[in-house]
Amino acid sequence: MPERSSYDHGTPSWIDLMTPDTDGAKAFYGGLFGWTAEDMDGPDGEYIYTNLYKDEKLVCGMGPLNDDMADMPPAWTSYINVDDAEQVAKSVETAGGQVLMPVMQVMEEGTMALFTDPAGAAFGVWQPANHKGAGIVNEPDTYSWNELMSRDIDASKAFYTQVFGWEYDEMDMETMTYSVVKGGHEDEGRAGLMPMPAEIPEQVPSYWGVYFTVADADATVARAKELGGSVMFGPDDTPVGRLAAIVDPQGGNFSIMQPSEPSKG
């Protein structure tokens, strides 16, 4: 089982969902992936966050879109592990990114910040303390991949290289070039970057998407529909596996992948 207790600097290590209905989202994802939820309260005793587990291993998190976030759509956020969040924040601004949320300490768990890259895609960074990131990855019903869809792919690639030192392996596809960030576990890659497909409506901004590994993509799609979700596309066969894109009942979108061969973790 590919359990993780640490991540290298510059490697995505965590994802969370911001949603207007955490109870509804917990029911949907619990029913879809078998996750169990542990709610966390702040110093004043009010609910602030939920950690989600698979087989007692930490998978990801979710939090509420409060009234002051009413103009924000539900979305999964990808977090990149860093050694020094303050230094990364300076690098982001130097490289042409913007700060959405300044560097802040999250109790005893770690330090975070939220940014956008020059193409407008939002992402977070995480400097771990007690919270190291996802405790299990690349297993069925767990987080497995982060993928940027950018409306200015050249600017995005240059930005992440300047901020995190990323280098890329380029894969020529039929209609575009897919860039895999070098490194990661057993050099299988840290993340993927691609230009926004032409068929995506112009109002959709650049964004970081998340993937979950599943044992059966068709069964997962059918179950998502039963639970009130909708399907944007798929399941479709690709060189890496069978893929589908799903929208949860609250409007958060994510993708699933049934690998063509078992992952090494």
DSSP 115-132: EE-TT--EEEEEEESS--
Statement: the pTM of the whole predicted model exceeds 0.85 = yes
Q: Please check whether residues 204 and 111 belong to one and the same domain.
A: no
Specify whether 34 is located in the same domain as 119.
Answer: yes
CA-to-CA distance for 37 and 22, rounded, in angstroms?
A: 10
Q: Provide the CATH number for the domain around residue 111.
A: 3.10.180.10
Euclidean distance between CA atoms 232 and 243, whole angstroms: 11
Are residues 104 and 149 located together in one domain of the fold? no
Residue that finishes a domain, picked among 128, 157, 187: 128
Same structural domain, 159 and 76: no
Checking if the pLDDT of 251 tops 70, the result is yes
| Residue 69 Ramachandran class (φ > 0 left, ψ -120 to 50 alpha, else beta) | alpha
Residue 203, pLDDT above cutoff 60: yes
Half-sphere exposure of 186 (CA within 13 A, CB side): 6
Inside any domain, residue 2: no
In a domain? residue 163: yes
Q: Are residues 71 and 146 in the same domain?
A: no
Of 77, 100, 128, which marks where a domain is finished?
128
Query: Is the CB of residue 190 less than 8 Å from the CB of residue 11?
Result: yes
Range of the domain at 84: 12-128
Domain end position, chosen among 97, 128, 159 = 128
Give the total number of structural domains in the chain: 2
Residue 265 lies in a domain: no
Query: Does 195 lie in the same domain as 99?
Result: no
Q: Are residues 29 and 103 in the same domain?
A: yes
Residues 244 and 154 in one domain: yes
Residue 24 lies in a domain: yes
Q: What is the pLDDT of residues 70-103, one digit of tens each?
A: 678 999 999 999 999 999 999 999 999 999 999 9
Q: What is the pLDDT of residue 264?
A: 46
Same domain assignment for residues 119 and 170: no
Mean pLDDT of the residues in the chain:
94
